[in-house]
Amino acid sequence: MRFSTRLVWQSARLPFVALTCLQLITAVLLAAQVIVVQWLLTAILDLATTGVQPVVLPILAMALVTALSAVTGSLQGSLSRYVGEGVARTMWQSVLDVSTGVGLRQFEDPSFFDRLDRVRSSALTRPFQVTSGVIASIGAVVAGVGLGATLVAFSPLLLPLLLIGGIPLLLTSRQESRLEFRFSVAQTQPLRHRTYLSILLTGRDEAKEVRAYGLSPNLRARFNAVYTRYLDDLRAHLRRRAGLSFVGQLTSALILGLTLFVMVWLIATGGLSIAAAGAALVAVRMIASQVQSLSGGVQAIFESGLFIDDLEEFLRLAPERPAVAAPPPRPFTEVVADRVTFTYPGREAPAVADVSIRIGRGEVVALVGENGSGKTTLAKIIAGLYPVDGGVVTWDGVAHEDLPPGTVTAGTAVIFQDFVRYAMDARTNIALGRPDEEPDDARIVAAAEASGVAAFVPDLPEGYDTPLTRLFAGGHDLSGGQWQRVALARAFYRDAPLVILDEPSAALDPRAEYDLFSSLRATLAGRSALVISHRFSTVRAADRIYVLDAGRVIESGSHADLMDRDGLYAELFRLQAAAYLPRDEA
């Protein structure tokens, strides 16, 4: 309750105060209704002796009270909606702080996703539900006290009976909350599976392969199976919940019935006048509904409280070091990985084992090796994205961890094998290389020329302002190789002393690849590059080549050294070269 109320207070102070006031006004209006009913009944019972005139005022009062209740009710609805959205925004900020602040390693952990999924769906609504629960409970208590006081004035016996009626409801609703939370935890993964299948079936990128392979019946059968299982579980869950709720409601209804019997007995024995009995009847109904809304409020608090414990635990994952503005890129003389070892969570064998490599200033260093040999993993380690399990990565002798925060990120430009295609215009796609600065058009054009983007972007309908996506009107999509050039432009625009290129030419045509690598040293202008490639034509010009096999460096040296050695490199090189030669020469 403290967490939620503080949150609501921070997100929408004024509407929250107004909402609480309205709730109190509603409570007062309820008690007023009972008094007006008694007034009206008395006047009606005296109609025969006094005539119509004394009835007019209570009728007007009744109309006024009813109108006021309706107005406060609708105001409350609007305010709740606004406060709810305000809280959702504040919560989004916290959730995004965590999900962008945690290390990349968390994203290898399914239990992190479980929590993230649950938080994404509960963080936005639950805190406000708790606060609404609190407001509703306070209102119910205030209204209950007001109504109770009026009722006690009629007869002291009725109130305690009515309150006892609320106890079974409170007990069962607490149990219901536990059931709800357990159900939600159990369904997190199946729900993610379902969402994933629905993305396969509706996504734009997936649409072509789904059609080309005729996948839709197969995928839909999977989707249906997951959904059916969910509905079965939901049915069982709802049955259990309804059973509990039935027991609670029934018991409390029986106690209400008993209260009404007591009232009839009071009238029969002359303990209560007819007008007072009429008003008491209204009060009893109203108190019963306040007890209901109190138990509803308490249930909302219990139920959301469990989700909020979950949420608070997630928010504790936020990094302690606050995000810092990127420091200026720091040049280096050499970057060294010294006997570096890294194992993915949940895996036995290390992906990178005991690897030492060196990248000097202005050098182009290449990593080669078969699929799964650990090249991308090593690139991520050098880019500072994974903390090593053993060994150390240093910039001029200083370990990554000892450099000022953000240094490695600011000093590195990476293009991943599966780089991101931002659904934004071409200029932004390049300028995101330096996200903290205003885009600089002259440098964007220079990066575009070095990467080959300048060959096609100016011809797009709106040049560099053309959105590179079909998601939005006026957008244009690019070919695979064109996208790769855009990613290269982004890396060059970053202007970092170390550039890491993971398969930068996989989608490039031979001429583009030739242009890229023949001008690479000029483009780098003294910066260093770590290039991963399966194309030996690209690799052979590197200053040094490291050959990875099952996570270990098994050979290193220049192209000539490695050919002399006649090991794995020479074998792979010859395999590729042979494919280009006439059959009898190979």
Of 35, 285, 27, the residue nearest 144 (C-alpha): 27
Among Mg ion, ligand ATP, none, the one that 373 touches (CB under a kind-dependent 5 to 8 A) is ligand ATP
Task: Pick the closer one to ligand ATP by CB: 376 or 412.
Answer: 376
Measured from the CB of residue 417, what is the shortest distance to Mg ion in angstroms? 5
CB contact set of 50 (below 8 Å; sequence gap of 6+): 43
Q: Looking at 227, 344, 416, 514, which residue binds ligand ATP (CB under 6 A)?
A: 344
- C-beta of 573: minimal distance to ligand ATP in Å? 16
DSSP type of residue 329: P
Selected range binding Mg ion among 280-288, 372-380, 509-517, 574-582, rule: CB under 5 A: 372-380
Written as one string, the DSSP assignment of 180-219 is HHHHHHHHHHHHHHHHHHHHHHH-HHHHHHHHHTT-HHHH
Does 376 interact with Mg ion (rule: CB under 5 A)?
yes
488 in Cβ contact with 513 (< 8 Å): no
Q: Give the dihedral sign, CA 87/91/92/94.
A: positive
Contacting range for Mg ion; rule: CB under 5 A; set: 12-20, 76-84, 356-364, 374-382: 374-382
Nearest to ligand ATP of 42, 376 (CB atom): 376
Least CB distance to Mg ion at residue 376 (A): 3
Beta bridge partners of 342: 352
The minimum distance between CB 375 and ligand ATP, in angstroms, equals 3
Q: What would the x/- binding string for ligand ATP be over residues 408 to 447, using CB under 6 A?
A: ---------x------------------------------
Q: How far apart are CA 568 and CA 545, in angstroms?
A: 12
The residue among 144 and 384 lying less far from ligand ATP, judged by its C-beta, is 384
Question: What is the contact mask toward ligand ATP in residues 96 to 135, using x (rule: CB under 6 A)?
Answer: ------------x---------------------------
Q: Which does 30 bind (CB under 5 to 8 A by kind): ligand ATP, Mg ion, none?
A: none
Which listed option, ligand ATP, Mg ion, none, makes contact with residue 371 (CB within 5 to 8 Å by class)? Answer: ligand ATP
Return the structure tokens found at 312: 């608070």
Number of residues that bind Mg ion (CB under 5 A): 1
- DSSP string over 250-292: HHHHHHHHHHHHHHHHHHHTTSS-HHHHHHHHHHHHHHHHHHH
Q: Which does 494 bind (CB under 5 to 8 A by kind): ligand ATP, Mg ion, none?
A: none
Q: Report how far residue 414's alpha carbon sits from residue 381's, in angstroms, rounded to the nearest whole number.
A: 12
Start-to-end Cα distance in the chain: 76
Contacts of 570 (CB under 8 A, 6+ apart): 562, 563
CA pair distance 443, 447, nearest whole angstrom: 6
Q: Provide, rounded to whole angstroms, the least separation between the CB of residue 367 and ligand ATP.
A: 8
In whole angstroms, the minimum distance from the beta carbon of 232 to ligand ATP comes to: 33
The residue (of 172 and 376) whose beta carbon lies closer to Mg ion is 376
User: Which C-beta is closer to ligand ATP: that of 444 or that of 572?
Assistant: 572
Residue 368 identity (one-letter amino acid): V
Q: Nearest-CA neighbor of 381 among 335, 422, 349? A: 335
Q: How far is the CB of 313 from ligand ATP (least distance, A)?
A: 24
Q: Which residues contact 121 (CB under 8 A, 6 or more apart)?
A: none
Q: Which does 344 bind (CB under 5 to 8 A by kind): Mg ion, ligand ATP, none?
A: ligand ATP
Q: Which one, 376 or 429, has the nearer CB to Mg ion?
A: 376
Number of residues that bind ligand ATP (CB under 6 A): 13
Choose one: 73-81, 339-347, 376-384, 438-446; the region binding Mg ion (CB under 5 A): 376-384
| Residue 360 neighbours by CB under 8 Å, 6+ apart | 333, 334, 528, 543
Minimum CB separation of residue 517 from ligand ATP in Å reads 19
351-410 positions binding ligand ATP, by CB under 6 A? 351, 369, 371-377
Q: Mark the segment that binds Mg ion (CB under 5 A) among 104-112, 162-170, 370-378, 456-464.
A: 370-378
Q: Are 87 and 127 in contact (CB under 8 A)?
A: yes
53-54-57 Cα angle (round to 5): 100
Minimum Å gap between C-beta 349 and ligand ATP is 7
Using DSSP's 3-state secondary structure scheme, residue 371 falls into: coil
Q: Provide the token pair at 81.
A: 């909606």
Is 11 a residue that touches Mg ion (CB under 5 A)?
A: no
What is the contact surface with Mg ion in residues (CB under 5 A)? 376
What is the contact surface with ligand ATP in residues (CB under 6 A)? 108, 344, 347, 351, 369, 371-377, 417
